[in-house]
Amino acid sequence: MPQAVIAVENLRKTYGSVVAVDDISFDVREGEIFGLLGPNGAGKTTAVECLQGLRKRDGGAVRVLDLDPRTDAADLRRSIGSQLQQSALPDRMRVWEALDLFASFSPRVVDWRALMAAWGLDSLARRSYGNLSGGQRQRLLIALALVNEPRVVFLDEMTTGLDPAARLTTWDLIREVRDRGCTIVLVTHFMEEAERLCDRVAIVDAGRIVAAGSPQDLIAAEPSGVRVQFSTSVADVAFLEKVAHVTAVKRDGDQVEVDGSGPVLALVAAALVEHGIVPDDLRVERPTLEQVFLRLTGHSMRD
Tell me which of 220, 245, 263 is where a domain ends. Answer: 220
Residues 272 and 164 placed together within one structural domain of the fold: no
Residues 55 and 177 placed together within one structural domain of the fold: yes
The model's pTM is 0.84
Confidence of residue 303 (pLDDT cuts 50, 70, 90): low
How many Å apart are CA 153 and CA 185, to the nearest integer?
A: 6
pLDDT at 224: 74
- Contact (CB, 8 A) for 39 and 24: no
Residues 62 and 201 placed together within one structural domain of the fold: yes
Residues 171 and 250 placed together within one structural domain of the fold: no
Q: Which domain holds residue 128?
A: 4-220
> Is the pLDDT score of 250 beyond 90?
yes
Q: Is residue 293 part of a domain?
A: no
Confidence of residue 301 (pLDDT cuts 50, 70, 90): low
Residues 216 and 232 placed together within one structural domain of the fold: no
Residues 123 and 162 placed together within one structural domain of the fold: yes
Which phi-psi region, left, alpha or beta, contains residue 91 (left: φ > 0; alpha: ψ -120 to 50)?
alpha
Residues 166 and 107 placed together within one structural domain of the fold: yes
- Contact (CB, 8 A) for 209 and 44: no
Residues 169 and 79 placed together within one structural domain of the fold: yes
With 0-12 CB in 10 A as exposed, 13-18 as middle and 19+ as buried, what is 175? middle
**Number of separate domains in the chain:** 2
- Assign 3-class secondary structure to 71-112: CCHHHHHCCEEEECCCCCCCCCCEHHHHHHHHHHCCCCCCCH
Residues 122 and 247 placed together within one structural domain of the fold: no
Phi and psi at residue 241, to the nearest 5°: -65, -20
- Contact (CB, 8 A) for 126 and 168: no
Phi and psi at residue 204, to the nearest 5°: -115, 135
Amino acid letter, 72: D
Q: Is residue 296 part of a domain?
A: no
- Contact (CB, 8 A) for 99 and 112: yes
Compute the average pLDDT of residues 21-48.
95
Tell me which of 176, 200, 220 is where a domain ends. Answer: 220
What are 199-226's pLDDT values in tens digits?
999 999 999 999 999 999 998 888 778 8
pLDDT at 60: 97
Q: Is residue 290 part of a domain?
A: no
Tell me which of 197, 220, 243 is where a domain ends. Answer: 220
What are 253-270's pLDDT values in tens digits?
999 999 998 899 999 999
Tell me the chain's radius of gyration from C-alpha atoms.
Answer: 23
Which of 187, 199, 153 is closest to 6 using CA atoms?
153
Q: Is residue 301 part of a domain?
A: no
Give the number of other CB atoms < 10 A from CB of residue 92. 10
Highest-pLDDT range among 19-28, 258-267, 281-290: 19-28
Of all residues in the chain, the percent with pLDDT exceeding 90 is 75
Q: What's the N-to-C CA distance of the chain in angstroms?
A: 37
Q: Is residue 15 part of a domain?
A: yes
Residues 149 and 99 placed together within one structural domain of the fold: yes
Q: Is residue 31 part of a domain?
A: yes
Residues 72 and 195 placed together within one structural domain of the fold: yes
How many Å apart are CA 140 and CA 44, to the nearest integer?
A: 22
Give the number of other CB atoms < 10 A from CB of residue 115. 20
Q: Is residue 28 part of a domain?
A: yes
Residues 73 and 188 placed together within one structural domain of the fold: yes
CATH number of the domain that residue 132 is part of: 3.40.50.300
CATH number of the domain that residue 271 is part of: 3.30.70
Which of 264, 177, 273, 198 is closest to 232 using CA atoms?
273
Q: Is residue 165 part of a domain?
A: yes
Contacts of 145 (CB under 8 A, 6+ apart): 81, 82, 83, 153, 154, 155
Which helix (H) or strand (E) segment holds residue 29: the answer is strand 18-29
pLDDT at 293: 85
